[in-house]
Amino acid sequence: MLLTIVMMFISTVGFSQQRTVNYNLSELLSSGKLSATNRTATQLSDKEPNGIKISSAAGEGAVWLNGVKFSNGIIELDIKGKNVEQQSFVGVAFHGLEDTKTFDVIYLRPFNFKATDSVKRSHSVQYASHPDNPWQVLREKFNGKYENAVTPVPDPDNWFHIRIEVNYPVVKTFVNGGATPSLTVAKLNDRKNGILGLWVGNNSGGDFANLKITYSDKD
């Protein structure tokens, strides 16, 4: 009986273990540990020494962290887009395949943060699953289920903080330290692990810094 209790305790402790890693994106870039798809990445100014700037271009793009695989846990970082209609889509791709075309993504549209139109505000944060369920498909089939307004509302021309909690199959997104998630969804695929990157949408670039990942041992 005592052995059983001890083994249960060990199992519980092991399951609850977490590991947090801070990633200096600037150093990863300079050491060749980032790979860009349809974009280029450059160093940010001295004000954000551990961040990078992703260029704008037609189509979607991403900068992937070489050798980094993410399953369950927490992804946190600071992002800066811009308040320009249809030219600022910035977020995080995760649970991706090596083809860099298959992944989940949480991204934000800063130009909708403070829109006077309530419908546009409800399109501020978005979940999508590429390639089968991009935003167009989700909005047509499940209008309002995979996107939402953001609370508290950030300055669309300034840095904001995003926290993505992944506990398969549930994904929660918090913005600027909000106590409640701005978006809670269930993943639309059975992938539980994969590559991770910084994502930008059509005609969009952005600044990314202070990436921190807390890895959970839950599979």
Domains and CATH numbers, the chain: 18-216 (2.60.120.560)
The model's pTM is 0.91
| Cis preceding-peptide flag for 154 (omega within 30 of 0) | no
Q: What are the φ/ψ torsions at residue 16 (nearest 5 degrees)?
A: -85, -5
Summarised one tens digit per residue, pLDDT across range 71-81 is 999 999 999 99
Give which of 205, 189, 201, 56 is closest to 136, Cα–Cα.
201
Residues in the chain: 219
Tell me the pLDDT of the chain averaged across its residues: 92
What sign results for the dihedral spanned by CA atoms 173, 111, 42, 203?
positive
Q: Is the pLDDT of residue 119 over 80?
A: yes
Scan for tokens 């309002």, then name that residue: 144
What is the pLDDT at residue 16? 53
